[in-house]
Amino acid sequence: MKTKVKMNVIACRDFGFDCNAVMKGRNLDEAIDAAIKHSVSMHGQNVRELQTPEKRAQIGSKAREMEV
């Protein structure tokens, strides 16, 4: 029997983009980092604007915990 692992998941669609990408992380910071990386590389957003504590908290507020 395989052990289930809890991951934090953030969907790009939750931010108003017509995008099916889902970013995952073993903890909230990893998921936020993955979401920021995706936003910059795929949607041309500014990394400096996304790295502020306020914006990171806003991104993190959309995270859900999922067992995989």
Residue 19 burial (CB < 10 Å; 0-12/13-18/19+)? Answer: middle
10-64 confidence digits (pLDDT tens): 999 999 999 999 999 999 999 999 999 999 999 999 999 999 999 999 999 999 9
- What is the band of 1 on the pLDDT scale with cuts at 50, 70, 90? low
Handedness of CA 12, 56, 66, 42 (dihedral sign): positive
Residue boundaries of the structural domains of the chain: 6-67
